[in-house]
Structure 1
Amino acid sequence: MESLHIHETPPEGAAADWTVPQDWAHYGAEDHRTWDRLFARQSAQLPGRACEAYLRGLDVLRLSRPGIPDFAELSERLGALTGWSVVAVPGLVPDEVFFDHLANRRFVAGNFIRRPDQLDYLQEPDVFHDVFGHVPMLADPVYADYMQAYGKGGLRSLQFGALHKLARLYWYTVEFGLIEETGGLRLFGAGIVSSHGESLFALDDPSPNRIAFDLLRVMRTDYRIDDYQQSYFVIPSFEALLKATVETDFAPVYAALETLEDLAPDAVLAEDRLFTRGT
Structure 2
Amino acid sequence: MEDQTHVLDRPPPGAAADWTVPQDWARFTPAEHLVWDTLYARQVKLLPGRASTAFLRGLDALQLSKSGIPNFEELSERLMKLTGWQVVAVHGLVPDDVFFDHMANRRFVAGNFIRGADQLDYLQEPDVFHDVFGHVPMLADPVFADYCVAYGKGGQRALGLGGLGYLSRLYWYTVEFGLIADPEGLRIYGAGIVSSASESRFALDDPSPNRIGFDLQRVMRTDYRIDDFQQNYFVIPSYEELLRVTVETDFAPLYEAIKPLPDIAIADILRDDVVITRGTQAYARERDKDRG
Normalising by structure 1, we get a TM-score of: 0.98
Q: 2:7, 2:95 within 8 Å by CA — same for their partners in 1?
A: no
User: Map of 1:111-126 to 2, 5 A cutoff?
Assistant: 111-126=112-127
Structure-2 residue corresponding to 1:145: 146
Matched letter for residue 119 of structure 2 = Q
User: Map of 1:127-138 to 2, 5 A cutoff?
Assistant: 127-138=128-139
Structure-2 residue corresponding to 1:213: 214
Structure-2 residue corresponding to 1:71: 72
Matched letter for residue 234 of structure 1 = V
Secondary structure of the structure 2 residue equivalent to 1:234:
strand
Matched letter for residue 269 of structure 1 = L
Structure-2 residue corresponding to 1:20: 21
Structure-2 residue corresponding to 1:187: 188
Q: 1:99, 1:154 within 8 Å by CA — same for their partners in 2?
A: yes
Q: 1:99, 1:151 within 8 Å by CA — same for their partners in 2?
A: yes
Structure-1 residue corresponding to 2:98: 97
Return the alpha-carbon distance in structure 2 between the equivalents of residues 161 and 90 of structure 1.
28
Per-residue deviation at 1:181? 1.0
Structure-2 residue corresponding to 1:161: 162
Matched letter for residue 236 of structure 1 = P
Secondary structure of the structure 2 residue equivalent to 1:197:
helix
Q: Deviations over 1:145-184 (max 9, x none)?
A: 0000000000000011110110000000000000001221
Q: 1:7, 1:91 within 8 Å by CA — same for their partners in 2?
A: no
Q: Deviations over 1:24-67 (max 9, x none)?
A: 01100000000000000001100000000000000010000000
Secondary structure of the structure 1 residue equivalent to 2:37:
helix
Structure-1 residue corresponding to 2:9: 8
Structure-2 residue corresponding to 1:223: 224
Return the alpha-carbon distance in structure 2 between the equivalents of residues 265 and 232 of structure 1.
10
Q: 1:5, 1:90 within 8 Å by CA — same for their partners in 2?
A: no
Per-residue deviation at 1:5? 6.8
Structure-1 residue corresponding to 2:290: none
- Does residue 272 of structure 1 match 2:280? no
Structure 1 gaps of 5+ residues are none
What is the count of residue pairs matched by the alignment? Answer: 276
User: Map of 1:231-250 to 2, 5 A cutoff?
Assistant: 231-250=232-251
Per-residue deviation at 1:7? 2.2
Structure-2 residue corresponding to 1:37: 38
Structure-1 residue corresponding to 2:109: 108
Q: CA RMSD in A?
A: 0.8
User: Map of 1:57-68 to 2, 5 A cutoff?
Assistant: 57-68=58-69
Per-residue deviation at 1:6? 3.9
Structure 1 runs, 4 residues or longer, greater than 4 Å off: none
Q: 2:55, 2:138 within 8 Å by CA — same for their partners in 1?
A: yes
Return the alpha-carbon distance in structure 1 between the equivalents of residues 163 and 248 of structure 2.
18
Return the alpha-carbon distance in structure 2 between the equivalents of residues 259 and 164 of structure 1.
14
Q: Deviations over 1:218-275 (max 9, x none)?
A: 0000000111000000000000000010000001100011121100110100110011
Q: 1:231 to 1:5 in 2, by over 3 A?
A: closer
Matched letter for residue 148 of structure 2 = M
Secondary structure of the structure 1 residue equivalent to 2:181:
strand
Q: Percent identity?
A: 71
Normalising by structure 2, we get a TM-score of: 0.94
